[in-house]
Chain A
Amino acid sequence: DTGVSQDPRHKITKRGQNVTFRCDPISEHNRLYWYRQTLGQGPEFLTYFQNEAQLEKSRLLSNRFSAERPKGSFSTLEIQRTEQGDSAMYLCASSPGTGIINEKLFFGSGTQLSVL
């Protein structure tokens, strides 16, 4: 257990439905990242928060995806009008944000999304 919690662990939904995932980072960590991983691929960067500010969003992310981190604590990732291509493991990671290089990212266990 890395200390990064994600909920739910698994989500099955029908195409066209909206889904929301939650991530609770390690409490003193300023930086929070969302990644997506499909079978046989490495994690793909989606978005990054420094405290409550969303500082980067991947160009690959369609406008159906939105993420928030109110008050710089937990984060939510919402997918609207889900498509079968959204089926993947959604990983959250956090890091202290001290500004040093090689800062370690701590990954949560992920939310496995299946869109039927």
Chain B
Amino acid sequence: QKEVEQNSGPLSVPEGAIASLNCTYSDRVSQSFFWYRQYSGKSPELIMSIYSNGDKEDGRFTAQLNKASQYVSLLIRDSQPSDSATYLCAVEGSGGYNKLIFGAGTRLAVHP
């Protein structure tokens, strides 16, 4: 079993819709969780971090965390074509120095 699992997609949504991206992780002691966006040929950029159960909202993005279910999700409201990218879920690994374990990513395509 991989440490961080994501559906590879592609997830295709129409412009203006809500895109829902999901991630599960295997290490129960993980405390910090991140969503990165990666455009083709570019490096990952951080869009959300979350470490408490519940929801965290930032603009059109909402991250949701359920530690009991070992589940993290990212909702993108009012999806735009510019949101088309690969979304990487990352979990902080052991060691306490922000080492990140990444999932394989979900490719999102927002069509006009």
Q: How many A-B residue pairs have CB under 8 A?
A: 61
Contact A55 B97 (CB under 8 A): yes
Cβ-defined contact, B97 with A108, below 8 A: no
Tell me whether B98 and A103 are in contact (CB under 8 A).
yes
Inter-chain CA distance A42–B103, complex, in Å, is 5
B31 interface residue (CB < 8 Å to A): yes
B102 touches A44 (CB 8 A): yes
Among B4, B42, B100, max chain A CB count under 10 A is at B100
Q: Do the beta carbons of B97 and A43 come within 8 Å of each other?
A: no
Contact B43 A91 (CB under 8 A): yes
Q: Nearest B residue to A40 by beta-carbon distance?
A: B104
CA distance A109 to B49 in the complex (A): 21
Which A residues touch B92, using CB under 8 A? 101
Verify A43–B42 contact, CB threshold 8 A.
no
A43 near B99: Cβ-Cβ < 8 Å: no
* Alpha-carbon separation in the docked complex, A45 to B91 (Å): 12
- Inside 8 A of B14's CB, which chain A residues have their CB? none
- On chain B, the number of residues with a Cβ less than 8 Å from chain A's Cβ atoms is 26
On whether the beta carbons of B43 and A42 are closer than 8 Å, the reply is no
> Could you say which residues of chain B place their CB within 8 Å of the CB of A42?
4, 88, 90, 102-105
In the complex, what distance in Å separates the CA atom of A105 from the CA atom of B103? Answer: 16
Minimum CB distance partner of A42 in chain B = B102
Interface membership of B17, Cβ < 8 A: no
- Provide the bound-state CA to CA distance between A9 and B86, in Å: 21
Q: Mark A41-57, 1 if CB is under 8 A from B, else 0.
A: 11111001010000110
**Which B residues are in CB contact (< 8 Å) with A101?**
31-32, 51, 92
A107, B43: Cβ atoms under 8 Å? yes
Minimum CB distance partner of A103 in chain B: B98
Contacts A91-B43, A102-B51, A110-B43 given; does A45 touch B101 at CB 8 Å: yes
Return chain A residues, CB-CB under 8 Å to B88.
42-43
Which of B93, B99, B102, B105: most chain A Cβ within 10 A? B99
